[in-house]
Structure formats: structure tokens, C-alpha cells
């Protein structure tokens, strides 16, 4: 249930920054009173989740909740923290994204739907404080101008729906998993919502809702979302990685720079998170051992 490659995130909270005024066509009813789209034509804004709407990755919070619920081992949790460190410093890759999807599929195979829903409060407790206020303001400005707002993430459809509901967005597009008789089978129920998969889900939504992608917006931080950015008329890059920054400059795309932790502090934060996880899990082990001896 993590965006882009579901890689976990160290303890990083977003800081305040400047919100850049929206550029491009404006929907009817905007602050300037101008109508920018023909009557009956729908416009949407699509927001990537990890490192775009929020600082870092949502994956660590799902991993922690899954560990607390007994779904994954301490070793798996520590490996996720290590993968988070790689994600923070090097970004995601297609290979790691596919690996994460297979691993999550194995983890949820046979799990009742309600068990994953019960993880939601713990996941939200980690994600919500790390949302960029500037990006929420962007999203709500779009809505006030008559533009529908959607989360588009490689995380699960359940995560996308949950966050869209809590944030008062118009919907979410995520990766779907097969459910039979109320339990997850561990098999996908459609394309992975990553790279071109995001474009497929956006086009399906556009057909259903009558959305003009050529007049719509997309926000992302990563080169892996180039297909999503190129699918709309108004691509916006947010804290872009090196490759995406270069492409954005060449294409003349809008670039948002939000305040972020320096690279060295990110590394220290990730190492501190790993140490904390290790200490907490070892402590739980000692508590369990004492309880068994007393029994």
C-alpha cells in the first residue's frame, strides 16, 4: 500500500513553504471570474501521493501497522526501513516496484478485507502529519475553481479511497487486489498503478466522467510518473528528482519547490528511524519473553 514502490519513509514532517499561483487554463467560477473551459467539459487535477502530496513515502506506516497486527515479521519491517533509506537517497526503480507488489500480494493472501481496513487509523496517524499544506492548498484551490481532484498512487485502491475521503478529494486511483469471499487472494485485479498503469486508470476515469485530459493537471516528483505528466495539458513537477528536473526545464513545465530536509539530515533521520524500530521490536521481544516465563 505504498506509493510508487511502497518504500517506507523516515520520520520527516513537511515544513511550510510558498504556494505558487496556478498557471494555465482556469475553470469556470475561479477567483478571476473567467471561464476557461467550455460548458459541459470536465477538468481534473491528479496528484501523486509519495513525495508529492506528502513528505516521503506512505509505505513505512503501512509496514508498521502490519507489524503491529502480526502480518509481517520484525526482519521484514527492518528490511522495509532499509529499502526506505535507498528510496530516499536514490529513488525508486521498476524492479523494486514490481518486487514490492509481489511481496505485498504474498502478505495479504488469505487476509480478510476487514483486517486491512482496521489498519487504517494507524496508517493515517503517520500519513496525515506529513502532508504538505502547500499541496493541500493547491488541491483545494483547484476544487474551488470547479476542478475535480484525484489521488493517483501505486498504493492500494483502499489506501487511495481512504485518503481521498479523509482529504475531501473527489476520488482516488490505486492498485487493485483480487478479493474472493471477503478475502484477498494475493493476485492483482488489474494493472499495477505505476508508470503507464497510472495513465490507464486516468483514461478509464476520463471516459467515465467526461474529463478532458488535455485541459487537466498532474502533479508528481519522479521521472517514473512521466507518462502521467505527459498525459495531461498542465503537468506540474514537485520537488523533482534530477532526471525529472532536467525534463521539466526542457519542456517548460511548472516546477514547485517545497521546503525539504537537506540530504544529510534525511540520512540521519532514516538511520534514527531504523534504530528506533530495532529498539522497539527488541523491547517487545523481551516483554513477550518475560510474559512467557511468568505463564
Question: 218: number of CA atoms within 13 Å, CB side?
Answer: 25
- Give the catalytic positions in this structure: 48, 50
Q: Is the dihedral of CA 132, 24, 147, 222 positive or negative?
A: negative
Q: 3-class DSSP state for residue 240?
A: coil
| Whole-angstrom distance, CA of residue 11 vs CA of residue 214 | 37
| Whole-angstrom distance, CA of residue 213 vs CA of residue 203 | 8
| Whole-angstrom distance, CA of residue 174 vs CA of residue 157 | 4
- Calculate the alpha carbon distances from 259 to 95, 98, 200, 216 in Å: 29, 30, 32, 26
Q: Give yes or no for a contact between 253 and 236, defined as CB atoms under 8 angstroms apart.
A: yes
Ordered alpha helix ranges (H), 51-93:
59-68, 74-90
Of 88, 66, 87, nearest to 77 by C-alpha is 66
| Whole-angstrom distance, CA of residue 79 vs CA of residue 257 | 30
C-alpha cell at 24: 494555465
Amino acid at each position: 500500500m505504498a506509493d510508487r514502490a511502497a518504500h517506507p519513509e523516515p520520520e520527516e514532517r513537511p515544513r511550510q513553504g510558498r504556494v505558487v499561483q496556478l498557471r494555465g487554463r482556469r475553470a469556470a467560477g475561479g477567483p478571476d471570474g473567467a471561464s476557461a473551459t467550455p460548458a459541459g467539459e470536465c477538468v481534473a487535477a491528479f496528484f501523486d501521493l509519495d513525495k508529492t502530496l506528502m513528505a516521503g513515502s506512505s509505505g513505512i506506516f503501512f509496514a508498521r501497522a502490519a507489524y503491529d497486527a502480526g502480518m509481517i515479521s520484525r526482519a521484514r519491517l527492518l528490511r522495509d526501513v532499509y529499502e526506505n533509506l535507498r528510496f530516499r537517497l536514490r529513488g525508486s526503480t521498476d524492479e523494486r516496484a514490481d518486487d514490492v507488489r509481489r511481496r505485498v500480494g504474498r502478505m495479504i493472501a488469505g487476509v480478510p478485507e476487514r483486517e486491512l481496513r482496521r489498519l487504517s487509523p494507524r496508517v493515517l496517524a503517520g500519513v496525515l502529519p506529513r502532508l504538505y499544506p502547500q499541496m493541500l492548498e493547491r488541491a483545494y484551490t483547484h476544487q474551488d475553481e470547479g476542478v475535480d481532484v484525484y489521488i493517483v498512487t501505486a498504493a492500494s485502491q483502499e489506501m487511495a479511497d481512504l485518503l481521498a475521503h479523509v482529504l475531501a478529494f473527489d476520488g482516488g486511483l490505486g492498485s487493485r487486489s483480487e478479493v474472493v469471499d471477503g478475502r484477498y487472494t494475493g493476485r492483482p485485479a488489474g494493472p499495477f498503478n505505476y508508470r503507464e498503469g497510472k495513465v490507464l486508470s486516468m483514461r478509464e476515469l476520463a471516459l467515465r466522467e467526461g474529463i478532458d485530459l488535455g485541459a487537466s493537471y498532474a502533479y508528481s516528483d519522479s521521472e517514473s510518473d512521466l507518462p502521467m505528466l505527459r498525459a495531461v495539458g498542465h503537468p506540474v513537477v514537485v520537488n523533482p528528482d534530477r532526471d525529472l528536473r532536467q525534463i521539466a526545464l526542457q519542456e517548460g513545465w511548472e516546477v514547485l519547490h517545497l521546503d525539504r530536509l537537506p540530504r544529510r539530515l534525511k540520512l540521519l533521520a532514516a538511520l534514527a528511524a531504523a534504530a528506533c524500530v530495532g529498539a522497539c521490536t527488541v523491547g517487545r521481544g523481551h516483554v513477550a519473553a518475560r510474559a512467557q516465563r511468568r505463564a
